[in-house]
Chain A
Amino acid sequence: QKEVEQDPGPLSVPEGAIVSLNCTYSNSAFQYFMWYRQYSRKGPELLMYTYSSGNKEDGRFTAQVDKSSKYISLFIRDSQPSDSATYLCAMSDSGGYQKVTFGTGTKLQVIP
Chain B
Amino acid sequence: DTAVSQTPKYLVTQMGNDKSIKCEQNLGHDTMYWYKQDSKKFLKIMFSYNNKELIINETVPNRFSPKSPDKAHLNLHINSLELGDSAVYFCASSAGLTKGADTQYFGPGTRLTVL
Number of interface residues of B (CB under 8 A): 31
Give residues 4-56 of A contacting B (CB, 8 Å).
8, 32, 38, 41-46, 49, 51
Instruction: Name the CB-closest residue of B to A42.
Output: B108
Given contacts A94-B99, A96-B99, A97-B94, contact A44 B48 (CB under 8 A): no
Question: Which residues does chain B contribute within 8 Å of A38, judged by CB atoms?
Answer: 41
Contact-residue bracket for chain A:
20 to 34
Given contacts A43-B92, A43-B106, A45-B106, contact A102 B44 (CB under 8 A): yes
Bound-complex Cα distance A107 to B42 (A) = 12
Using CB atoms and an 8 Å cutoff, list the residues of chain B in contact with chain A.
4, 30-31, 40-45, 48, 50, 55-56, 58, 90, 92, 94, 96-109
Q: Pick 13 A–B contacts, CB within 8 A, sort by A.
A: A8-B41, A32-B100, A43-B4, A43-B92, A45-B106, A46-B104, A95-B99, A95-B102, A100-B45, A102-B42, A104-B40, A105-B41, A107-B41
